[in-house]
């Protein structure tokens, strides 16, 4: 690993990162950059694919995640991966999601250079768009980081509050906020050959104090782990069909959560298929079964079925919850479910791209008690 420092000019970390990324693009070693960029209204940022460095006005620290960036990269690379490198700026959860999509043959890392960004968390889209503080959301977040205060916590999405790891892994280059004095500098690490190659011609300084970053990363992870443990303990209680049915009562079967989920990649979801179309007499028969029959049908089956299909790869980005029109706090169920299921299979989604997803492999000598008396 190579560790460098990007000097921040005029206390403006955003424009300094812009300069850095412009240089990267201008070097000609990458043909395009996928970065989050504000729309003219400044109400939201979207991933944009940029080839002209003059058009680059990114805000890579903007604390909002309107869509799954991993899904966007799947779109770009699935049919045919790029022939020259494309740099993609991603948060930790989206790198995890991208790795899972690669394992599921839905995306390619060929000529994709992952530029990971430390993530102090993101706000719900509407809070980001109509931010109640006097500063922009990015300024507010960076300032609270500098002050080491937790003022931003009140605005964080619930998934971000209990993030399993806000520090990018599997990135070629990491832009580090944690452990950096962001008024003066940003930490830049190269974790791969291509990452080192890209940093070679950049005007960066060598890092002096080696330990600040490690300590900050460790502290951040420990703090998140603690919050996560508390969350998991609190949410243990919602059990039994009564509570589960109540929890999903507001589900109107719109399937927005599935649409927003980076892991749900099926071209045609079973729940949108003709499987659930039936003759009138079958609906009447199902009504006769319990005496009455709720429509639209199978909302809980959708939730539990979707959970069965994606939970082992769940990266806990919380986009399902953000997409829910009725504000069902999905993370309260999905995080404990993911935690338990992934533990059962000793599987860490997004950790290792050579690892196979659990449902396509097996060992003959495992789970021997299942299937026997």
Residues near another protein (CB under 8 A) are 238-245, 249, 270, 286, 289-294, 298-301, 304-305, 307-309, 311-312, 333, 336-337, 340-341, 344-345, 358-360, 362-364, 366-367, 370-373
In the complex with another protein, the residue whose CB is nearer, 182 or 333, is: 333
What pairing do the DSSP bridges indicate for beta strands 173-176 and 112-117?
parallel
In the complex with another protein, the residue whose CB is nearer, 184 or 276, is: 276
In the complex with another protein, the residue whose CB is nearer, 41 or 346, is: 346
The rounded Cα 356 to chain-centroid distance in angstroms is 20
What pairing do the DSSP bridges indicate for beta strands 205-206 and 112-117?
unpaired
In the complex with another protein, the residue whose CB is nearer, 254 or 337, is: 337
In the complex with another protein, the residue whose CB is nearer, 145 or 300, is: 300
What pairing do the DSSP bridges indicate for beta strands 32-38 and 86-91?
parallel
CB of 264 to another protein, least distance (A): 14
In the complex with another protein, the residue whose CB is nearer, 206 or 242, is: 242
CB of 104 to another protein, least distance (A): 16
In the complex with another protein, the residue whose CB is nearer, 8 or 333, is: 333
Q: Which residues contact 128 (CB under 8 A, 6 or more apart)?
A: 43, 44, 62, 63, 64, 122, 137
CB of 272 to another protein, least distance (A): 14
Q: Where are the alpha helices (DSSP H) in the chain?
A: 13-26, 69-77, 92-103, 125-129, 137-147, 158-161, 193-200, 211-234, 240-247, 256-260, 280-290, 299-310, 319-323, 331-344
> Of 175, 341, 323, which is closest to residue 251 (Cα–Cα)?
323
In the complex with another protein, the residue whose CB is nearer, 80 or 289, is: 289
CB of 289 to another protein, least distance (A): 6
CB of 169 to another protein, least distance (A): 25
Question: What are the structure tokens assigned to 54, written together?
Answer: 């003059």
Sheet of strand 86-91, all strands in order from the earlier edge strand to the far edge? 45-50, 32-38, 86-91, 112-117, 173-176, 185-190, 2-7, 205-206
Q: Is the dihedral of CA 197, 29, 262, 48 positive or negative?
A: positive
In the complex with another protein, the residue whose CB is nearer, 19 or 332, is: 332
CB of 165 to another protein, least distance (A): 21
The vertex-64 CA angle with 236 and 184, nearest 5°, equals 110
**Contact between 260 and 322 (Cβ < 8 Å):** yes
CB of 259 to another protein, least distance (A): 19
Could you give the CA distance from residue 103 to residue 44 in angstroms, rounded to a whole number? 30
Could you give the CA distance from residue 352 to residue 169 in angstroms, rounded to a whole number? 9
CB of 292 to another protein, least distance (A): 5
**Contact between 131 and 103 (Cβ < 8 Å):** no
CB of 312 to another protein, least distance (A): 7
């Amino acid at each position: 690993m190579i560790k460098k420092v990007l000097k921040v000019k005029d206390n403006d970390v955003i424009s300094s990162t812009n300069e850095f990324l412009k240089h990267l693009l201008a070097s000609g070693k990458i043909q395009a950059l996928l970065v989050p960029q504000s729309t003219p209204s400044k109400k939201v940022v979207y991933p944009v694919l940029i080839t002209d460095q003059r058009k680059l006005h990114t805000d890579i620290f903007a604390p909002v995640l309107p869509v799954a960036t991993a899904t966007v990269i799947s779109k770009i690379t699935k049919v045919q991966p790029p022939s020259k490198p494309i740099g993609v700026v991603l948060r930790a959860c989206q790198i995890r999601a991208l790795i899972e999509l690669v394992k599921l043959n839905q995306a390619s890392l060929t000529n994709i250079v992952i530029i990971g960004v430390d993530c102090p968390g993101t706000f719900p889209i509407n809070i980001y768009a109509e931010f109640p503080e006097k500063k922009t959301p990015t300024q507010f977040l960076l300032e609270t980081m500098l002050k080491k205060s937790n003022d931003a916590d009140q605005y964080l999405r619930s998934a971000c509050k209990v993030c399993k790891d806000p520090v990018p892994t599997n990135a070629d280059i990491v832009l580090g906020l944690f452990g950096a004095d962001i008024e003066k500098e940003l930490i830049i690490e190269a974790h791969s050959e291509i990452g080192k190659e890209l940093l070679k011609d950049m005007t960066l300084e060598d890092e002096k104090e080696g330990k600040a970053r490690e300590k900050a990363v460790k502290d951040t992870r420990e703090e998140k782990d603690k919050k996560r443990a508390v969350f998991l303990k609190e949410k243990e209680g919602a059990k039994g069909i009564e509570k589960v049915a109540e929890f999903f009562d507001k589900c109107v079967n719109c399937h927005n959560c599935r649409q927003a989920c980076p892991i749900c990649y099926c071209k045609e979801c079973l729940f949108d298929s003709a499987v659930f179309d039936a003759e009138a007499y079958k609906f009447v028969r199902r009504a006769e079964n319990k005496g009455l029959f709720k429509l639209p049908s199978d909302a809980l089956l959708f939730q539990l079925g979707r959970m069965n299909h994606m939970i082992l790869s769940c990266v806990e980005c919380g986009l399902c919850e953000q997409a829910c029109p009725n504000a069902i706090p999905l993370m309260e169920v999905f995080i404990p479910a993911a935690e338990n299921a992934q533990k059962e299979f000793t599987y860490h989604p997004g950790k290792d791209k050579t690892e196979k997803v659990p449902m396509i492999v097996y060992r003959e000598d495992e789970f021997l008690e299942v299937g026997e008396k």
